[in-house]
Amino acid sequence: MGNGVREGAVEFQRDVEPLPARIPAEDNQEKKKVLNSLMSGALAGAVAKTAVAPLDRTKIMFQVSSKRFSAKEAYRLIYHTYLNEGFWSLWRGNSATMVRVIPYAAIQFCAHEEYKQILGNYYGFQGKALTPFPRFIAGSLAGTTAAMVTYPLDMVRARMAVTPKEMYSSIVHVFIRISREEGLKTLYRGFTPTILGVIPYAGLSFFTYETLKKVHAEHSGRAQPSPPERLLFGACAGLIGQSASYPLDVVRRRMQTAGVLGHSYSSILLTMHDIVREEGLVRGLYKGLSMNWVKGPIAVGISFTTFDLTQILLRKLQHGPGLD
């Protein structure tokens, strides 16, 4: 009996000895994964937003004014801005956009990877593609998380996009003037429509992109789509996501810029009511949507493609060229 007890003790020690060695390795792997997602997301956001910055600024200027939108008027606005303020003025506010979009995209993409893992564990899909509903939830939660953390930077970016450079000389100047003249709470004006818009936008964007990749893998027999295919899938994702949430994007911009454009929008419903009363339902709440159908798919396509390809590159650098 004594021998049996001693043998049992030896066996127990043999089982538990490797655990301390495994845990740090797993933690290190998880940290690398999170860091890769953050770096890939930051680069994806920066490249995508810089590529479409002139179109983005033009869209915002129409969104916050009562001027009727058309492709001709948009071209005229871009051309006059170029003539009067110079070529680089088309990227005015892009520095504020970068300050916002780099942490926003990094947090959103990283959060999406984490939420996919959490939901996969919860629903029993470890290592497999999520089913449609969890796929949508993962995207919505990722977008909401990023928006909550970086919202004041979005407010600053909108202010810089619609005002002359004499009014705000820098990002810091925007923060100082808003805080002094309008109060700190102004930095979160338009926050509610932002979150309400992010839920369908991010949810549908990630859902569409992930779904198209899954369908492609099933029908083509290839685990990974090519870069042009990724761009196409991302473009479809951006088109669907932005179309679904666009009216709330208009409301958000109106509320963000009310302080400098002489309006007093106090709530989502009142803002919508004023826009519809003054400009009409379609011309008001969907103003600039046709430009978004050009800008949005390009930006989202570039963003998703850059993220995926950067992730693949970083994994290959860390694990060797043999990794698929």
The pTM (predicted TM-score) of the whole model is 0.75
Whether 100 and 177 map to the same domain: the answer is yes
CA 25, distance to chain mean position in Å, is 31
Whether 162 and 260 map to the same domain: the answer is no
Whether 175 and 199 map to the same domain: the answer is no
In a domain, 308, yes or no: no
Whether 130 and 240 map to the same domain: the answer is no
Q: The domain that contains 87 carries what CATH number?
A: 1.50.40.10
Whether 162 and 202 map to the same domain: the answer is no
Q: What is the pLDDT of residues 59-110, one digit of tens each?
A: 777 777 777 777 778 888 888 888 888 887 788 778 777 888 899 999 999 9
Whether 221 and 265 map to the same domain: the answer is yes
Whether 214 and 117 map to the same domain: the answer is no
In a domain, 306, yes or no: no
In a domain, 261, yes or no: yes
Contact status, residue 250 vs residue 284, Cβ threshold 8 Å: yes
Whether 75 and 176 map to the same domain: the answer is yes
CA 179, distance to chain mean position in Å, is 26
Domain boundary among 149, 184, 219: 184
In a domain, 8, yes or no: no
Q: What is the pLDDT of residues 182-211, one digit of tens each?
A: 888 888 888 888 899 999 999 999 999 999
pLDDT in tens, the chain (324 residues): 445 444 444 444 444 444 444 456 667 888 888 999 999 999 999 999 998 888 888 877 777 777 777 777 888 888 888 888 888 778 877 877 788 889 999 999 999 999 998 998 887 666 667 888 999 999 999 999 999 998 888 888 778 777 777 788 788 888 888 888 888 888 888 888 889 999 999 999 999 999 999 999 999 888 889 999 999 999 999 999 988 888 988 888 888 877 666 666 778 888 888 889 988 888 888 887 887 788 889 999 999 999 999 999 998 887 765 554
In a domain, 161, yes or no: yes
In a domain, 152, yes or no: yes
- Total domains in the fold of the chain: 2
Whether 158 and 227 map to the same domain: the answer is no
Q: Which of 94, 108, 105, 104 is nearest to 158 (CA)?
A: 94
In a domain, 312, yes or no: no
Domain boundary among 130, 157, 184: 184
Residue range(s) defining the domain that contains residue 132: 65-184
Whether 169 and 255 map to the same domain: the answer is no
Q: What is the pLDDT of residues 46-56, one digit of tens each?
A: 999 998 888 88
Domain boundary among 162, 184, 206: 184
Contact status, residue 240 vs residue 205, Cβ threshold 8 Å: yes
Whether 92 and 122 map to the same domain: the answer is yes
In a domain, 118, yes or no: yes
Q: Over the chain, what HEC string results?
A: CHHHHHHHHHHHHHHHCCHHHHHHHHHHHHHHHHHHHHHHHHHHHHHHHHHCHHHHHHHHHHHCCCCCCCHHHHHHHHHHHHHHHCHHHHHCCHHHHHHHHHHHHHHHHHHHHHHHHHHHHHHCCCCCCCCHHHHHHHHHHHHHHHHHHHHHHHHHHHHHHHCCCCCCCCHHHHHHHHHHHCCHHHHHCCHHHHHHHHHHHHHHHHHHHHHHHHHHHHHHCCCCCCHHHHHHHHHHHHHHHHHHHHHHHHHHHHHHHHHHHCCCCCCHHHHHHHHHHHHCHHHHHCCCHHHHHHHHHHHHHHHHHHHHHHHHHHHHHHHCCCCC
Structure tokens at 27: 């933690």
Whether 70 and 92 map to the same domain: the answer is yes
